[in-house]
Amino acid sequence: MSKVIELPVHSIAHSRAGDKGNVSNVSLITYNKNGWENIKVNATESKVLEIFKHLGATNVTRYELPNLMALNFLVRRPYQAYLPHHLLLLEVYLTILL
C-alpha cells in the first residue's frame, strides 16, 4: 500500500494566470514526470470549479498539454464577476492539495 502525502501545488508545479473579460486562464506546469502524473489525476475540472465557485465561476474547461507536462484551465464567470489573476494564483496554491 502506498503512502499518501499532501503537498501544496507549488511543491510540484508552478502556475500562470491571466484574465480577459469574463474568462480567466490558469495553468499548472509541473517540474517533473511524477508531478505531471499527479496533476493529471487530481486537478480536475470539477475540483477547479469548486475552488473558484465562491468567486463567481460557472464553468471550467481543462486542456492537457502533455509535451509541456501542463494543464490549462479556462474559468468562466458572468461578465460582471471580476476575478483578478493574482487571486486565481492564490486560490490554486492554497486550495488544491494533490
Domain boundaries, the chain: 9-95
Q: Does pTM surpass 0.85?
A: no
Burial class (CB in 10 A: 0-12, 13-18, 19+), 77: buried
> What span, in angstroms and rounded, lies between the C-alpha atoms of 98 and 95?
10
Each residue of 51-69: pLDDT tens digit? Answer: 888 888 999 999 999 999 9
Each residue of 4-44: pLDDT tens digit? Answer: 777 777 889 999 888 887 888 999 999 999 999 999 998 99
CATH of 9-95, one of 3.30.160, 3.30.1360, 3.30.1060, 3.40.50: 3.30.1360
